[in-house]
Structures are given as structure tokens and as C-alpha cells.
């Protein structure tokens, strides 16, 4: 597809001071991102993912700006320092509220604030945010500006490539251009459109076709912005897109959750040797057990932690026993001891 003919040319460089947004460390971390996933990427999940992928960028579940402002902050936003670098994803469409929530997020220690412009759920649409915001680029640009003025960490956006029948590149270009012109330079692109009528959120992650080629066009038109590819990446063949599109980073959602060892392998392929990186699945058990015990002491229900760790032995002997034990809230070390025959054979 060619560049839109009658649109103003994209700027060569971001207009405001924060080119390269944040430290080079964050740019580096974004080469491998774990997607924001409601009810899934809780702090207990992120801790586990961090053990497996010491260099990746981790995202929280979406938290609405109103919840950040009025809710119980420790419960909603608390996280372990070990999770860094970690980004807070916000939902909302009111610039002042988002600015306030972003400032709270920064004060809580988050490394990046991300705005959700990709969620298609009815609940989110009723609140007039998520994917439907792609139809209002100027409003989103106001939100971005207000957030950027209230924090010094990078403000980024996660979005789709279109909404309903507005799926041509021109629509996407206008959205990105509006945000870029207010200083947003990091875009996480879930490379399928959102169909806001008639599809459930789950169907909206599966039915609309993927169009990775849109990132190629975005990179051509906004060469100094950073585009992270998301949607349907399931194994290490995803790495090809970094060079061929090119993309500045990869974001994995469901595959990372169900087969978390994939994160470890991608981390190894994307980043230099790292003494923190585990060589064997078995090595994650001891630190996970320590985390589990700390959590129990702090009154965390066991399954609130273990339910996110079920995928560790995905595709390996003993995977079913491990998954069952995690669903029941058993401590990782106990499970390993009881199943050492089957689980160890897979190391």
C-alpha cells in the first residue's frame, strides 16, 4: 500500500524534546514485551515472567484512571521492585483524569505509562475508551499531551490498526500522526482491527485478520518513532519481524502466558549473555517458592499466585500434574519434590 496521497508528510523527527523516550534501557527492554492482560498479568504473574525473562518490558493489566485516582492504590498498583522495567497501562479518555493517574503511576515507580486504545469490550466502550478512541485522534492527542505534561517517564499507546469498517491505512496514519505530533513516539500495534459490534473481546483477538504489513508503512512514514508488533506471535519465528518489517520490538500476550518458557528463549536470543537468565526450568522453582512463601506470610491466597504459573512445563512431561497443582495452590517446591520423577525428566 502506498502512503496516503493528500496527508501532510510525517515529521522526520519527533517535535518535542523526548526523542528516544526514556532511557536507552527502556528502548532496549521493549524489544521483548509481555502484553497487558486483564486478570492475567497481575503482579504475581509479572514476577514469574521476570524470573524467566530478565530483560523484557512487562505491562500491568489495564487499570482505569478513575480506579487509580479513587481506588486502593497499594492493592491496584503495588508491585515488587524485581519487576522493573514495568509499565502501567491506563484506560480512560479524560485528559485531566489520565494526567492525574499517570502522575500517581509514576510516583508508584512505574517506568512507563501506556494508554489503552485497543480494547474492544462493551464495558470499555460504555466508558468511551479503549479501541473506540481510535476514532477520536484529537481527543487521544489531548490525553497524551496532558499525561506527558504530568510525568517524566515515557507515555506510550497500545492500539489496533483500525476500527469496524475504518481499516484503511489512512485511518491508522491519521491516528498515529495526531499522537506523534504531541510527542508520543512509542506505539504498540495490535495488528488487527477491532470490530466493536457483534464480536466478543476473545473473538476480537482471533477473527479480524492480522496485517503486520501496516507496521512497515508506519515505520516508513514515522522513521523516528518506535513500533512494537503485537498479535499472533507464538514462537521464536516472531524474531524475523524485527528485521523484515522492521519492527522495534515484539509484544507477546497469550503465548507468553500459556508457554512462559518461550519468554526465556526469546530473552536469550534478543539480549546478550545474562547471568540472571535461567538455563533449566527447575531453576525457577526455588525463587518462586521464596516468593510464594513471602506472599503467604503477607496474606495472599495461594491460588492468586500459583494460577499464573501453570504453564511452566508446557509441552513437557509432567505438565498436567504441574498445572493441576498450580490450580490448587500448592507451593512450587512441594510439587517438584512430589513429581521429581516426571518433572525432572523434562529438564
Ligand X SMILES: Cc1cc2nc3c(=O)[nH]c(=O)nc-3n(C[C@H](O)[C@H](O)[C@H](O)COP(=O)(O)O)c2cc1C
The reply to whether 228 sits near ligand X by the rule CB under 6 A is no
The reply to whether 62 sits near ligand X by the rule CB under 6 A is yes
The 306-335 site mask, x for binding ligand X (CB under 6 A), equals ------------------------------
Q: Applying CB under 6 A, which of residues 4, 14, 22, 36 lies at the interface with ligand X?
A: 36
**Which is catalytic among the residues 33, 45, 117, 119?**
119
Contact window for ligand X (CB under 6 A) among 4-12, 227-235, 301-309, 326-334: 227-235
Q: Applying CB under 6 A, which of residues 157, 252, 266, 305 lies at the interface with ligand X?
A: 252
For residue 7, the minimal CB distance to ligand X (Å) is 27
Lookup result for grid cell 499507546:
157
Nearer to ligand X, 133 or 252 (CB): 252
For residue 4, the minimal CB distance to ligand X (Å) is 25
For residue 160, the minimal CB distance to ligand X (Å) is 9
Dihedral, CA atoms, 302, 303, 306, 311, nearest 10 degrees?
A: 170
The reply to whether 119 sits near ligand X by the rule CB under 6 A is yes
The 157-186 site mask, x for binding ligand X (CB under 6 A), equals -x----------------------------
Rounded CA-CA distance 266/95 in Å is: 36
For residue 238, the minimal CB distance to ligand X (Å) is 9
Is 119 catalytic? The answer is yes
Residue nearest to ligand X (CB): 253
For residue 2, give Cα distances in angstroms to 8, 170, 174, 211, 217. Answer: 14, 10, 14, 15, 8
DSSP for 222-279 reads -TTSEEEEESS--SGGGGHHHHHS--SEEEESHHHHH-THHHHHHHHHHS---TTS-S
Rounded CA-CA distance 117/135 in Å is: 10
The reply to whether 205 sits near ligand X by the rule CB under 6 A is yes
For residue 15, the minimal CB distance to ligand X (Å) is 26
**Could you tell me if 114 and 106 are in contact, meaning their C-beta atoms sit under 8 angstroms apart?**
no
Q: Report the b/e string of 183-198 with b at 16+ CB within 10 A.
A: bbbbbbbbbbbbbbee
The reply to whether 120 sits near ligand X by the rule CB under 6 A is no
Rounded CA-CA distance 120/129 in Å is: 9
Tell me the three state secondary structure of residue 74.
helix
Contact window for ligand X (CB under 6 A) among 177-185, 250-258, 271-279, 309-317: 250-258
Q: Applying CB under 6 A, which of residues 254, 258, 314, 344 lies at the interface with ligand X?
A: 254
**C-alpha of 196 from chain center:** 21
Rounded CA-CA distance 100/271 in Å is: 35
Q: Applying CB under 6 A, which of residues 32, 255, 325, 343 lies at the interface with ligand X?
A: 255
The reply to whether 259 sits near ligand X by the rule CB under 6 A is no
The reply to whether 118 sits near ligand X by the rule CB under 6 A is yes
Q: Applying CB under 6 A, which of residues 231, 260, 318, 332 lies at the interface with ligand X?
A: 231
The overall longest dimension of the chain from CA atoms, in Å, is: 67
Rounded CA-CA distance 144/184 in Å is: 7
Contact window for ligand X (CB under 6 A) among 33-41, 67-75, 272-280, 288-296: 33-41
Rounded CA-CA distance 321/49 in Å is: 21
State the residues that interact with ligand X by CB under 6 A.
35-38, 40, 61-62, 89, 116, 118-119, 158, 190, 205, 230-233, 252-255
Catalytic residues, by residue number, are 119
Amino acid at each position: 500500500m502506498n502512503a496516503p496521497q493528500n496527508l501532510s508528510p510525517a515529521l522526520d523527527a519527533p517535535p518535542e524534546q523526548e526523542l528516544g523516550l526514556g532511557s536507552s534501557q527502556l528502548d532496549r527492554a521493549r524489544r521483548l514485551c509481555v502484553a497487558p492482560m486483564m486478570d492475567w498479568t497481575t503482579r504475581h504473574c509479572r514476577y514469574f515472567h521476570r524470573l524467566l525473562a530478565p530483560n523484557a518490558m512487562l505491562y500491568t493489566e489495564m487499570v482505569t484512571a478513575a480506579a487509580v485516582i479513587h481506588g486502593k492504590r497499594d492493592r491496584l498498583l503495588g508491585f515488587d521492585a524485581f519487576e522493573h522495567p514495568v509499565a502501567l497501562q491506563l484506560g480512560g479518555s479524560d485528559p485531566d483524569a489520565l494526567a492525574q493517574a499517570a502522575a500517581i503511576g509514576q510516583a508508584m515507580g512505574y517506568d512507563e505509562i501506556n494508554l489503552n486504545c485497543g480494547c474492544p469490550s462493551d464495558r470499555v466502550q460504555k466508558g468511551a475508551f479503549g479501541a473506540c478512541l481510535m476514532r477520536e485522534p484529537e481527543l487521544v492527542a489531548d490525553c497524551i499531551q496532558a499525561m506527558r505534561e504530568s510525568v517524566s517517564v515515557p507515555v506510550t499507546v497500545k492500539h489496533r490498526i483500525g476500527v469496524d469498517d475504518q481499516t484503511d491505512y489512512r485511518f491508522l496514519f491519521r491516528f498515529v500522526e495526531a499522537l506523534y505530533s504531541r510527542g508520543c513516539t512509542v506505539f504498540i500495534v495490535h495488528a488487527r482491527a477491532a470490530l466493536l459490534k457483534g464480536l466478543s473481546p476473545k473473538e476480537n483477538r482471533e477473527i479480524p485478520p492480522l496485517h503486520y504489513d501496516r507496521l512497515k508503512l508506519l515505520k516508513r512514514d514515522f522513521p523516528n518513532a518506535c513500533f512494537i508488533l503485537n498479535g499472533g506471535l507464538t514462537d521464536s519465528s516472531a524474531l524475523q519481524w524485527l528485521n523484515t518489517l522492521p519492527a522495534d520490538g515484539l509484544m507477546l500476550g497469550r503465548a507468553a502466558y500459556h508457554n512462559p518458557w518461550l519468554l526465556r528463549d526469546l530473552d536469550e536470543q534478543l539480549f546478550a549473555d545474562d547471568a540472571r537468565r535461567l538455563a533449566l526450568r527447575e531453576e525457577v522453582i526455588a525463587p518462586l517458592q521464596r516468593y510464594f512463601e513471602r506472599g503467604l506470610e503477607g496474606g495472599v491466597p495461594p491460588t492468586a499466585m500459583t494460577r499464573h504459573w501453570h504453564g511452566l512445563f508446557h509441552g513437557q512431561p509432567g505438565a498436567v500434574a504441574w498445572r493441576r497443582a498450580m490450580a490448587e495452590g500448592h507451593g512450587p517446591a512441594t510439587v517438584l519434590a512430589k513429581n521429581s520423577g516426571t518433572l525432572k525428566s523434562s529438564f
